[in-house]
Amino acid sequence: MRRVIEKYKDFYAEHKKERILFFQGGKRSGKTHFLCQLLTVLAYNNEYKIFAIAPDYPRMVDLRHSFEKASGRTVRGSLDGFVCSIGKSKIYFRAFDVAEKAEQGKECDIAYFYECRSIPLGVVRGIMAGCRVQAIADYNPCEVFWKDDYYQQAPTLVTTYRDNPYLTDEQRADYVEAERRAALPTATDYDRWWADVFCFGRLNQKARLCFENSELVRYKEFAECVAPCFFAMDWGGEQGGEDPTALIAVKVLGKYIYIHEILYSNKVSDKGIADELAKAKELLKPRCLVYETATNGKRRVAELLRTSGSVMPTFPSLKGAGSVEGGINELQDYRLLITDTSENVWAERNNYRYILKEGTLVPMDKFNHAFDALRYFWRYYNLRGKNMS
CB atoms within 10 A of CB 359: 5
d(CA 206, CA 327): 20
- Could you give the domains of the chain? 6-163 (3.40.50.300), 171-199 (no CATH), 214-387 (3.30.420.280)
Strand partners, 316: 291
The 10s digit of each residue's pLDDT in 265-321 is 988 888 999 999 999 999 999 999 998 877 777 888 888 888 888 888 888 888 766
Query: What does the DSSP 8-state code read for residue 369?
Result: H
Amino acid code (one letter) for 84: C
d(CA 184, CA 368): 27
At residue 262, the 3 state secondary structure works out as strand
One digit per residue, pLDDT tens: the chain, 389 residues? 456 688 999 999 999 999 999 999 999 999 999 999 999 999 999 999 999 999 888 888 889 999 999 999 999 987 667 999 999 999 999 887 656 666 666 689 999 999 998 888 888 888 998 999 999 999 988 777 889 888 989 999 999 999 999 899 999 999 999 999 999 988 877 788 889 989 999 887 666 788 988 989 999 999 999 999 999 999 886 544 578 999 999 999 999 999 999 999 988 888 999 999 999 999 999 999 998 877 777 888 888 888 888 888 888 888 766 788 888 888 988 999 999 999 999 989 988 888 766 656 688 888 899 999 999 999 888 877 656 65
Closest to 21 (Cα-Cα) out of 120, 143, 224, 159: 159
State the number of CA atoms in the 13 A half-sphere of 188 facing the CB.
Answer: 9
